[in-house]
Amino acid sequence: MRMDREQVSPDRLWIEDTIRDFIATSPCNTMKDESGEAAWDYALVGFASGADPIWQQYKEYVGPFHWTPWEVFNQHSPEEPAASEALTVISWILPQRERVRKANRRVKKYPSEAWARIRIYGEAFNAALRRHMVKRLRERGYMAIAPMLVPNWTVVKSERFSYASSWSERHAAHAAGLGTFGLCDGLITAKGKAMRAGSVVAKISIQPTPRPYADHRAYCLFFVEGTCGKCIDRCPVRAITERGHDKEKCRQHLVRTRKYVKDTYRFEGYGCGLCQVGVPCEAAIPVKAAREALERGELPPAPPPLA
């Protein structure tokens, strides 16, 4: 819940300020086009305990290859091991800027140039932010690792999900109270689902962000009210249906966008995200009751298990 700056621990304030400063000052924060505009304006930040049972639930739901914070941290920090209770997952959301969302709203099959630039250069900034946070935390005396950047992070074929990875930024963000999943698999945050997410795992004690939802789909109109389904029609390859998101169809389309981006925009890139824009959850929580409860700072009863 929202707290005044005086109530927040100095470490948490320092982490939030460090992320904010990097966004404001890093030369990596660029779309690399003639506009000279930054890729990102700001971040939402959340915290989850390494001992939160949700990590084990993810493992059971996604598969044994999916890491808990304890597993990934201790694999890559043998010189400074830590118990689950000693770890905090620091997660952030980088909401897509209005100009980028607007550009992608207009397209019907392939990504706009702005969106494709964010997919490549905006994500390069996100990787730089992960490295920066690891470095700054270590300098402050807190061992940290970025799960997406460790050499054995991988994507595996999964019977249940087509494919799945050993760490998911969206799932980390969900655990850290930053959003819930939509029909298209995207994470709907307080600033919508047009965003990119990042995280690091650190041996530091920060009070976890309470999850302001009792269900992992609480912000999607389709699941809550049985309405919407707008992301179904936005997808150019029908990879979204009322049954959910077909990851393999989506992946195949992403592969095809490489040629389009190179031929049209003249750089090596790819992307899609058509289902993230031109929909009610693009830049806000579309479920009115959930949005208003969050604005009032209300918490639901303890959430049930994910699966």
Nearer residue to ligand SF4 within complex by CB, 202 or 250: 250
Extended beta strands in 155-194, E state: 155-158, 162-165, 179-181, 187-189
Minimum distance between the CB of residue 84 and ligand SF4, rounded to whole angstroms? Answer: 32
CA distance 45 to 42: 10
CA distance 23 to 17: 10
Q: Classify burial at 84, counting beta carbons within 10 Å of its beta carbon; exposed 0-12, middle 13-18, buried 19 or more.
A: middle
**Does position 231 bind ligand SF4 by CB under 6 A?**
yes
Options 253, 270, 290, 294; binder of ligand SF4; rule CB under 6 A: 253
x/- mask, ligand SF4, residues 257-286, rule CB under 6 A, reads ---------------xxxx---xxx----x
Minimum distance between the CB of residue 221 and ligand SF4, rounded to whole angstroms? Answer: 4
Evaluate the CA torsion angle 153, 156, 158, 162 in order and state its sign. Answer: positive
**Does position 220 bind ligand SF4 by CB under 6 A?**
yes
Options 143, 144, 239, 306; binder of ligand SF4; rule CB under 6 A: 239
Among the listed residues 288, 296, 54, 34, the one whose alpha carbon sits nearest the alpha carbon of residue 170: 54
**Does position 31 bind ligand SF4 by CB under 6 A?**
no
Largest CA distance in the chain: 53
Nearer residue to ligand SF4 within complex by CB, 204 or 228: 228
**Does position 118 bind ligand SF4 by CB under 6 A?**
no
**Does position 235 bind ligand SF4 by CB under 6 A?**
yes
Alpha helices in the chain (DSSP H): 10-25, 54-62, 69-76, 98-105, 113-117, 123-139, 169-175, 221-225, 230-234, 247-265, 288-296
Minimum distance between the CB of residue 27 and ligand SF4, rounded to whole angstroms? Answer: 29
Confirm if 290 and 307 have CB atoms less than 8 A apart. no
CA distance 40 to 30: 8
**Does position 221 bind ligand SF4 by CB under 6 A?**
yes
Ranges within 166-185 binding ligand SF4 (CB under 6 A) = 182-184
CA distance 187 to 296: 21
Task: Count the residues of the shown chain that bind ligand SF4, applying the rule CB under 6 A.
Answer: 26
Minimum distance between the CB of residue 174 and ligand SF4, rounded to whole angstroms? Answer: 14
Binding stretches for ligand SF4 (CB under 6 A) = 182-184, 220-222, 228-231, 234-235, 237, 239-240, 245, 250, 253, 272-275, 279-281, 286
